[in-house]
Amino acid sequence: MQSNSLTALPETLPPGLKTLEAGENALTSLPASLPPELQVLDVSKNQITVLPETLPPTITTLDVSRNALTNLPENLPAALQIMQASRNNLVRLPESLPHFRGEGPQPTRIIVEYNPFSERTIQNMQRLMSSVDYQGPRVLFAMGDFSIVRVTRPLHQAVQGWLTNLEEEDVNQWRAFETEVNAAAFSMFLDRLSDTQNTRHPDFKEQVSAWLKIAH
């Protein structure tokens, strides 16, 4: 479902679905009810303004970056390990967020850089996180924090950020490369490259896209 100009997802998805990749479309919302066993949800680079108030508790990885969200749900999935919510329109954090206790072995990480939070909101959250008895999620506001735990997407997703309308055969070829030793590093490199000023120039993006087509 990635990079298909979709404006909506089916209201009924396969109940056993564990991974849903629907990034780089034109979605403005999500179905009220998502598959109950869903573990990975990637709806980055859409136009979503609000998330369902209740998400499947089994979700461990949630990427809603580069949307138009103004709020995050009060109730986060119990299994959530990492949430990428950078580059939205968030102005506040859920009041329940400091009390969230994920089921994972490490504190949940929530990345919210490049959002229009007030200085007071940031300072209040950082003050809470610095408390000795704080056991809630780690909320990362700044580039310095973000670089430590940057989300590494599967290689085929990073490539699709540069090459739209890939045939299924091409996607599968990039999936095959994901077992290579340096696949994760290359994926992160492509994502970092997409965040630079150079990507605003069409010629630069065309050069990278042409190089990727040759590389595979």
Amino acid at 156: H
Number of H helices, E strands in the chain: 6, 6
How far, in Å, CA of 205 to CA of 192, rounded?
13
d(CA 40, CA 35): 11
pLDDT tens digits in sequence order for the chain, 216 residues long: 666 678 999 988 999 999 999 999 999 999 989 999 999 999 999 999 999 989 999 999 999 999 999 999 999 999 999 999 999 999 999 999 999 998 888 889 999 999 999 888 898 999 999 888 898 999 998 754 444 445 567 878 887 777 767 778 778 888 888 888 788 888 888 777 776 656 666 777 778 777 877 766
- Tell if the pTM clears 0.75, that is, is over it: no
Rg (CA), the chain: 18
Handedness of CA 95, 149, 61, 102 (dihedral sign): negative
The CA–CA distances, whole Å, from 122 to 116, 119, 137, 157 equal 10, 5, 14, 31
Q: Which amino acid is at 51?
A: L
Beta bridge partners of 109: 82, 138
| pLDDT tens track for 197-207 | 566 667 777 78
- Tell which residue, 19, 24, 112, has the closest CA to residue 70: 112
For the chain, the structural domain boundaries read 1-151, 155-215
Give the pLDDT confidence of 114-125 residue by residue, as tens digits: 999 988 889 899
Architecture per CATH, domain 1-151, reads as Alpha-Beta Horseshoe (3.80)
Report the candidate in 90, 14, 66, 21 with the shortest Cα–Cα distance to residue 195: 66
Q: With b meaning 16 or more CB within 10 Å and e meaning fewer, what string describes 1-20?
A: ebbeeeeebeeeeeeebeeb
> Which residue type, as a one-letter code, is found at position 1?
M
Q: Please list the alpha-helical segments (H only) found in 72-201.
A: 119-129, 143-148, 155-160, 168-177, 183-194
